[in-house]
Amino acid sequence: MAVLTVDVTSEDIHYPLKIEKGLLNHLAEEIKSVYKNKKIAIVTDAHVQALYGERVVEQLEAAGYELTVIVLEPGEQSKSLENLQHIFSELIAFGLSRSDLMLALGGGVIGDLAGFAAASYLRGIAFVQIPTTLLAQVDSSVGGKVAIDLPEGKNLVGAFYHPKLVLIDPNVLETLSDSTFNDGMAEVIKYGCIHDHDFFEQLKQYQSRAEVMAEIESVIADCCTIKRDLVQSDERDTSERMLLNFGHTIGHAIEAYYRYEKYTHGQAISIGMVAMNRLTEALGISAEGSTEIIETILKQYALPTELAEAADYQKILPLIKNDKKNIENALFIVVLDAIGKSRTMAAPVDFFAPLLKGNEV
Ligand SMILES: NC(=O)c1ccc[n+]([C@@H]2O[C@H](COP(=O)([O-])OP(=O)(O)OC[C@H]3O[C@@H](n4cnc5c(N)ncnc54)[C@H](O)[C@@H]3O)[C@@H](O)[C@H]2O)c1
Ligand SMILES: O=C(O)C(=O)C[C@@H](O)[C@H](O)[C@H](O)COP(=O)(O)O
Ligand SMILES: [Zn+2]
């Protein structure tokens, strides 16, 4: 088992990320290591419940826990205020107290939503993340960003609230659809872009999902290590942590513009990374030819690199004003000087203007 620890010493927060094939089969002993009471509320979605719900419930019941399982509709639209209210009502009906536990079993949608419910229910209860998508195993379960979406923008209401434990079992990735696996690859590729050229080159060598899966534990550990280090140096997202937002300024606007229906998070940030780098390459900030290299690797994972409707670029731009990286009226963006080397910068007022012409830079 690979164990990484997240230490946010300024907040006295320390928790392990455990990565092991088959970890889901000895779940109860892992939960026992961080939780001594009886009641656990499991939040999951219908796909994950059908695949893994019984296995999780059987083990926890056999270990003597008293459970309730809250099952939500799969998909981004579930990361909503309505579902937050629904979860609170279920927790109250179950009589979950401040000293009890919530377990987030699912992808990034479940982790973000249940995590925010845990952060705010009774002003905060303990929670454990069991991420079941590649995206959640390499990114969303680590670092304590929890949130819901609003029609006005992604993750606009949330908190920094860390789990007590993150249990990552790569075996559960076997049941992902190709498209959901590829969503996770968009964030994996992001890590190469922002931080590690060698890692990016390694990703270029993989010819298929099976080849990635053959080395999945180290791929997950490499991504979690990059994220853990950035989170530890800037938990509240005011400096280095913002680098994790490469491609997200445009990506989040795309998701919101299409009401969280047309593009998944992974697909939207794939388009966002390419659009952002194309703009900065044209300005001479990013290395010549880097956009094409990024586009090529994203296409290897069947990720979109352009909006289906080029005219829509101009329609998504107004949503960028709601980006959380903005300071007063200044837009803050993440740019690559080269693949593997990123920084933040204040964007000039007309920075996004070329997109208004339909993505012709
Ligand atoms: N908090 C963070 O730091 C952070 C980081 C990155 C992304 N996110 C958020 O994560 C969300 C996207 O997460 P996602 O891509 O995991 O989407 P998701 O949670 O919607 O999961 C995608 C699909 O996979 C299904 N699924 C989950 N596990 C499965 C399994 N093992 N086998 C088969 N099907 C399975 C789900 O039911 C769903 O249909 C977005 O809301 C994004 O904003 C948060
Ligand atoms: O953890 C972070 O910090 C990230 O930016 C990781 C992103 O991949 C993730 O999508 C995150 O939810 C975006 O956060 P936001 O603050 O831009 O909503
Ligand atoms: Zn993301």
Question: Which structure tokens are listed for 38?
Answer: 């009886």
**Mutate which of 44, 113, 135 for ligand 1 pocket (most atoms within 8 A of beta carbon):** 135
**pLDDT given for residue 323 in this prediction:** 87
Banded model confidence at residue 263, pLDDT cuts 50, 70, 90: very high
The string of pLDDT tens digits covering residues 186-218 is 999 999 999 999 999 999 999 999 999 999 999
**pLDDT given for residue 1 in this prediction:** 86
Q: For residue 20, give the H/E element and its range.
A: none
Banded model confidence at residue 322, pLDDT cuts 50, 70, 90: confident
CB-based contact 89:70 (threshold 8 Å): no
Is it the case that residue 358 has pLDDT exceeding 60? Answer: no
**Mean pLDDT calculated for residue range 253-273:** 97
**Mean pLDDT calculated for residue range 298-320:** 93
Q: Determine whether the shortest distance from the Cβ of 136 to ligand 2 is under 6 A.
A: no
**Mean pLDDT calculated for residue range 234-254:** 96
Q: For residue 260, give the H/E element and its range.
A: none
**pLDDT given for residue 51 in this prediction:** 98
| pLDDT over 90, % of the chain | 87
> How many angstroms does the Cα of residue 244 sit away from the middle of ligand 2?
6
**pLDDT given for residue 231 in this prediction:** 96
Neighbours of 282 (CB within 10 A): 12
The string of pLDDT tens digits covering residues 148-182 is 999 999 999 999 999 999 999 999 999 999 999 99
**Mean pLDDT calculated for residue range 136-141:** 98
**pLDDT given for residue 359 in this prediction:** 52
**pLDDT given for residue 331 in this prediction:** 86
- Distance between CA atoms of residues 96 and 102, nearest Å: 9
CB-based contact 250:334 (threshold 8 Å): no
Q: Relative to the CA of 248, which ligand 2 atom is closest?
A: 17
Question: What is the average pLDDT score of the chain?
Answer: 95
> How many angstroms does the Cα of residue 195 sit away from the middle of ligand 1?
23
**pLDDT given for residue 360 in this prediction:** 52
Q: Whose CA is nearest to atom 10 of ligand 1?
A: 108
**pLDDT given for residue 326 in this prediction:** 84
- Distance between CA atoms of residues 161 and 183, nearest Å: 24
- Distance between CA atoms of residues 359 and 314, nearest Å: 9
Q: Determine whether the shortest distance from the Cβ of 255 to ligand 1 is under 6 A.
A: no
The string of pLDDT tens digits covering residues 32-55 is 999 999 999 999 999 999 999 999
> How many angstroms does the Cα of residue 110 sit away from the middle of ligand 1?
7
- Distance between CA atoms of residues 136 and 110, nearest Å: 9
Q: Determine whether the shortest distance from the Cβ of 190 to ligand 2 is under 6 A.
A: no
Known binding-site residues for Zn(2+) equal 187, 248, 265
**pLDDT greater at residue 358 or residue 72:** 72
Q: What's the one-letter identity of residue 210?
A: A
**pLDDT given for residue 348 in this prediction:** 82
| pLDDT over 70, % of the chain | 99
Banded model confidence at residue 11, pLDDT cuts 50, 70, 90: confident
CB-based contact 331:320 (threshold 8 Å): yes
DSSP state of 132: -
**Mean pLDDT calculated for residue range 245-259:** 97
> How many angstroms does the Cα of residue 252 sit away from the middle of ligand 2?
10
For 254, residues 6+ apart whose C-beta sits below 8 A from its C-beta are: 263, 268, 271, 272, 307, 316
- Distance between CA atoms of residues 129 and 111, nearest Å: 7
Is it the case that residue 82 has pLDDT exceeding 60? Answer: yes
Alpha helices in 215-262 (DSSP H): 216-233, 248-257
CB-based contact 146:112 (threshold 8 Å): yes
Q: Which domains does the chain have, with CATH numbers?
A: 2-175 (3.40.50.1970), 178-356 (1.20.1090.10)
How far is the CA of 121 from the CAs of 44, 55, 101, 155, in angstroms? 17, 27, 11, 18
Is it the case that residue 320 has pLDDT exceeding 60? Answer: yes
